[in-house]
């Protein structure tokens, strides 16, 4: 009778939870994501399906959990309901929620998201075990179902499995597409867009502007310019950029929506919330853009090709040349080409945009920091010149500002989730095969045992003497107290691109303009969890002129 009462109670709870999928999830800002449109009618159908399933699954799950608890030493964590697990207790800002749990249960914890075992690690030593010591085993990706279409069948680098094709694509990116040599060759494209940004801000002088929006437009244009250079022009270029922005935004929002197919894979084939349908629609729209640009690119005559070589070689040109190669070790398919173009946007745009906005926010909150940064800019560049990328290596304090920004506001606070290929031991606990692994860079970067006064924005911590280990911290995860782009074989492939763009854009904004808050406004440091850690409230600031020579605000300034 006890088992029967437990089963009936559990069934009622489960039906209630599934019904909430149509009426609103108790997960803060996720409510509307699941409850909109035609998904409201899915509640009853899903309830019936799941109640039937639990008849078969309930006993198996309970017995399995009891057996595993006796045989395996799993990490500690909050207890959850069978099958549902901890889904009902989740909070919108997962990075903050996980940090709260780590203070209760320890630096490695286990949660259950439906049928998915989730492991969260919040210390540098455990991150090292996962990202370096057992790199091979944790090189898998736990991939949201909606991404199958959005990544062209896992044909990209960010979400693709660590197999031979993945290694080939990563090598192509590292050695040919995103290498320093390749990025140098398309500097003219980046410079043009940054100079356009300076001109646009000059046109809005002494009026409040949305800094994040301005940076978003600029960096997206920089990335698109590097993707296909001078292939399209004028109004068509603007329209393609707007459409591309809309599609990418839709993709990012879709990936963030809670998908019942991820929590209960047995239901994935039914696409109960219509995510697959929406993802395929976005991919078709993206394909139209890609094929249109590729067709135009291929139709360029020899004269235009020569002109493009002089103005800067774009990424599409690199990739089309790789498609023509006979060597299978470097040749790519059209599917891989499109997947790589999407990766460039994800690796080079999103993180760069949010980092610039967070850096500006922190600097305006700390006037001494912005004063020192501008003094350095005046010393290195002068007040009669414009910022060039060649100046970046000499801007030591501004580089420290960017490092400190990424420490407090890492672009991906939980990195991209890893997946355990086989069961293994981490920190003395068993991590089951197929677990979703979150490495909390956000918590590691705020660890008081690794950082003095960790919540304080202090770029000087990265400017020690030559023998100071902090000065040697880089973005490539060589020290596990600082992993804004991950580490190991899954370290972000777009580091070179992001590093160049963030410092170049930030230096241009600070060198050309002074910044102040609109009267009566205050800085807001609240963040919103997502693929990247965005500011909840966009930064609004008023630019004023710093340079007396107004020609320095023109778009077509000579190098």
Contacts of 69 (CB under 8 A, 6+ apart): none
What's the distance, Cα to Cα, between the start and end of the chain in Å? 82
Helix 334-345 to helix 275-299 angle (10° resolution) is 100
Do 419 and 140 meet the contact criterion of CB atoms below 8 Å apart?
Answer: yes
Do 321 and 298 meet the contact criterion of CB atoms below 8 Å apart?
Answer: no
DSSP state of 133: I
Other CB atoms within a 10 A radius of the CB of residue 542 amount to 18
DSSP state of 85: B
256 token code pair: 């963030």
Q: Give CA–CA dist 82/65, Å, rounded.
A: 9
Chain centroid to Cα 76, Å, comes to 28
Chain centroid to Cα 86, Å, comes to 25
385-400 CB burial, b ≥16 within 10 A, e <16: ebbbbebbeebebbbb
Contacts of 244 (CB under 8 A, 6+ apart): 220, 224, 286, 289
Cα–Cα distance list, 365 to 70, 305, 523, 541 (Å): 52, 48, 7, 12
CA dihedral 447, 453, 456, 462 (to 10 degrees): -80
Binding residues: 492
Binding residues for heme: 492
């Amino acid at each position: 009778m006890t088992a029967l009462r437990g089963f009936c109670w559990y069934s009622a709870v489960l039906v209630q939870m599934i019904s909430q999928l149509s009426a609103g999830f108790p997960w803060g800002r996720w409510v509307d994501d699941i409850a909109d449109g035609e998904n409201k009618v899915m509640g009853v159908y899903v309830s019936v399906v799941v109640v039937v399933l639990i008849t078969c699954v309930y006993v198996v799950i309970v017995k399995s959990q009891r057996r595993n608890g006796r045989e395996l030493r799993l990490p500690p964590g909050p207890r959850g309901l069978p099958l549902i697990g901890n889904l009902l207790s989740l909070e919108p800002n997962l990075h903050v929620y996980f940090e709260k749990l780590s203070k209760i249960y320890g630096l490695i914890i286990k949660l259950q998201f439906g049928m998915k075992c989730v492991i969260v690690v919040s210390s540098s030593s455990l991150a090292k075990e996962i990202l370096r010591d057992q790199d091979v085993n944790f090189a898998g990706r736990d991939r949201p179902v909606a991404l199958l279409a959005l990544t062209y069948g896992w044909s990209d680098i960010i979400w693709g499995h660590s197999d031979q094709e993945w290694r080939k694509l990563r090598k192509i990116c590292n050695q040919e597409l995103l290498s320093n040599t390749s990025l140098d060759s398309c500097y003219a494209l980046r410079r043009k867009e940054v100079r356009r940004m300076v001109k646009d801000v000059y046109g809005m002088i002494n009026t409040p502007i949305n800094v994040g929006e301005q940076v978003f437009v600029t960096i997206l244009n920089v990335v698109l310019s590097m993707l296909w250079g001078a292939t399209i022009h004028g109004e068509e270029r603007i329209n393609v950029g707007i459409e591309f922005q809309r599609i990418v935004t839709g993709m990012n929002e879709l990936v963030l929506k809670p998908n019942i197919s991820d929590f209960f894979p047995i239901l994935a084939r039914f696409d109960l919330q219509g995510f697959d349908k929406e993802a395929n629609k976005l991919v078709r729209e993206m394909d139209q853009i890609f094929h249109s640009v590729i067709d135009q690119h291929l139709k360029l005559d020899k004269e235009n090709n020569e002109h493009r070589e002089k103005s800067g070689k774009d990424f599409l040109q690199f990739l089309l040349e790789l498609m023509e190669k006979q060597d299978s070790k470097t040749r790519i398919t059209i599917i891989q080409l499109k997947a790589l173009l999407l990766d460039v946007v994800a690796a080079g745009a999103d993180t760069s945009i949010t980092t610039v906005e967070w850096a500006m926010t922190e600097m305006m909150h700390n006037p001494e920091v912005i004063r020192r940064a501008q003094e350095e800019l005046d010393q290195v560049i002068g007040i009669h010149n414009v910022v060039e990328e060649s100046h970046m290596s000499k801007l030591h304090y501004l580089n420290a500002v960017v490092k400190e920004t990424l420490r407090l506001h890492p672009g991906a606070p939980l990195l991209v989730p890893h997946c355990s290929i086989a069961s293994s031991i981490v920190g003395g606990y068993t991590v089951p095969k197929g677990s979703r692994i979150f490495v909390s860079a956000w918590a590691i970067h705020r660890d008081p045992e690794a950082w003095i006064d960790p919540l304080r924005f202090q770029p000087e911590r990265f400017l020690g003497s030559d023998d100071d280990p902090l000065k040697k911290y880089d973005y490539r995860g060589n020290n596990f107290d600082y992993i804004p782009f991950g580490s190991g074989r899954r370290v972000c492939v777009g580091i070179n691109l992001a590093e160049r763009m963030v410092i170049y854009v930030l230096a241009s904004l600070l060198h050309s303009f002074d910044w102040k808050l609109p009267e009566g406004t205050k800085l807001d440091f609240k963040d919103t969890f997502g693929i990247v850690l965005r500011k909840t409230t966009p930064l609004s600031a008023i630019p004023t002129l710093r340079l007396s020579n107004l020609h320095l605000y023109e778009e077509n300034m000579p190098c």
